Amino acid sequence: MHHITKTAASVIAALMLAAGAAQAADPDLTVFDWAGYEDPGFFADYVEKYGDAPTFAFFGDEEEAFQKLRSGFRADVVRPCSQSMSRWMDAGLLAPFDTGRIPLWDDLDPAFRDMPAFQRDGEHYFVPMDWGYTMLTYNTDYLDASDVQSLQAFADPAHAGRVSIGDNVDDAYALAFLATGVTDWTTATDEQFEAASAFLRRVHQNVRAYWADGSSLAQLMQSGEVYLAWAWNETYWTMTAEGYPIAINKDTDEGVSSWTCGFARLADGAGSEDKVYDFINAWLQPETAEYLVTEWGYGHPNAAAMAALPQDELAAVGLDSTEAIRENTLWQSPPPAALRERMIAEFELIKAGF
């Protein structure tokens, strides 16, 4: 029942996003985030302390968020993902954290916490909050495991009109690079970029819709309208809990993609700095880690809290060890700035049919 309630809440948030709306609450802290993360289960300690949730504003992808912030939109905290951090730091949008004000800092998995791309001059600009995979996800009423052993299935004309991938340049190119034999996009050549773009153009011919968030994809897959998707952990986790015949394949011939997202402080934030840290600290609590895993299917950076959870459950969706995410995996680390600009421009052309 809780999953149905959560999905409904995400749909409402998505409708607010489409209308350009914000979810107003605590006026002293504005969080600029993906729709769905306004779920108070993620920051229960903050609500308990202040009696209200922060004010939330939503974005559909990080490029939209980046451009909106550069145009003067004001917030205090934003949730970028790993591949965007260098660009956001270079643009002067972010301020460093005082890690001394984050009591659980030492409990965070150093594989995420200490990435060089998240630091400048010895200061940390990013606190990881969730991590997971973008992976091949399918409806077993329509497809067998043998149909989806290769990522080439996304471009197979047999699946025309039954495919969905995210309206997200990073996930799209993660799929495309993997499918064309590249697991490290930071070293991609011009020829490899062109091959990946050509693959996405073939996929585009099969796409029923580009999904914007987990709830919109769930709606597409519930009826079988879409039976093959490039999706986050959330889709498999929540839809199987609701009884839908959804499966994943993390062991395709070409591999899988992994990412981490988290919070950054905005340099021009006008809200309460104390509330920024209280919000961050609420997200890092063991209770939040358990909620994130059991209700959403994502991993949490609090390594101590993750170690206390049932390891067989974590292993079922590949969350049992962060060591494994670099094996046969395209890790969504920040690509070279010029390459990412090309990815952004080309993806817009591909979606428009060019």
The Cα–Cα gap between 51 and 30 comes to 15
Q: Do 253 and 145 fall within a single domain?
A: yes
Q: Check pLDDT > 60 for residue 5.
A: no
DSSP 8-state symbol, 253: S
DSSP for 247-270, please give it: EEES--SS-EEEEEEEEEEETT--
Q: Residue 49: which pLDDT band, with cuts at 50, 70 and 90?
A: very high
Q: Check pLDDT > 80 for residue 121.
A: yes
Q: What is the pLDDT of residues 256-299, one digit of tens each?
A: 999 999 999 999 999 999 999 999 999 999 999 999 998 888 99
Q: Do 19 and 99 fall within a single domain?
A: yes
- Split into its structural domains, the chain has a count of 2
Q: What is the pLDDT of residue 287?
A: 96
Q: Do 271 and 225 fall within a single domain?
A: no
Output Rg (C-alpha) for the chain, integer angstroms.
19
SS3 199: helix
CATH code where residue 72 lies: 3.40.190.10
Q: Do 24 and 104 fall within a single domain?
A: yes
Q: Do 118 and 11 fall within a single domain?
A: yes
Q: Check pLDDT > 70 for residue 254.
A: yes
Question: What average pLDDT does the chain have?
Answer: 89
Region 22-38: mean pLDDT is 86
Its pTM stands at 0.83
Name the token pair of 328: 């046969």
Domain that holds residue 219: 133-257+328-351
Region 236-252: mean pLDDT is 92
Q: What is the pLDDT of residue 23?
A: 60
H or E element, residue 230: strand 228-232
The per-type count for the chain, helices as H runs and strands as E runs, is 14, 13
Residue 29 exposed, middle or buried by CB count within 10 Å (0-12, 13-18, 19+):
buried
Q: Do 74 and 11 fall within a single domain?
A: yes
Q: Do 224 and 138 fall within a single domain?
A: yes
The Cα–Cα gap between 230 and 34 comes to 18
Q: Do 75 and 143 fall within a single domain?
A: no
